[in-house]
Amino acid sequence: MDLSEINRMDRACFVREFGGMYEHSPWVAEAVVGRRPFSNRRALAAAMGEVVEQAPPEKKLELIQAHPDLGGKLGRQRELSEHSAREQSRLGLDRLEDSEFQEFTRLNQGYRERFGFPFILCVALVEKAGILDAFRRRLENSREAEVEEALRQIHLIAKLRLEQAIEPAA
């Protein structure tokens, strides 16, 4: 869809269309709908990012918690959001061999135990081996550093989702 169409959408349609750009967090789209018109998709992405960055810490943590495990059981059971399913499927994370699934499960559990939230990585920018490397490397970080990194990754994910959903300006 193009930006002029987006700028004319009613509130409910806008939230329905863009409420999933930030995983299971329509509150982000609800907060930016009144900021229209957007001059380009970068402006929409920036507005959504601002909403998240200005949110209280507990709301940010709620956003982080809304993300599924990478290569987790939800992918195998086909219970991911449409966006997450497409992103994880690209790397075959929904079709892991048993040994790979066990490795991802072990890393996901270790990460959740250490930080209290799921490991988040913009998988559109890496290959499967890169995910495992990032898991191992980031397990060494502090919780504060991981909250910051999770939010950075979430913004990258949302930006790419928006780029796929909105036609570039002519």
Based on C-alpha coordinates, what's the Rg of the chain?
17
Tokens 């890393």 belong to: 107
* Number of C-beta neighbours around residue 81 at 10 A: 15
Structural contact between residues 91 and 123, judged by C-beta atoms closer than 8 angstroms? yes
Catalytic residue among 24, 67, 83, 155: 67
- Please report, as a single letter, which amino acid is at residue 81: S
Distance CA 7, CA 157 (A): 22
Is 67 in the active site? yes
So which residues are the catalytic ones? 67
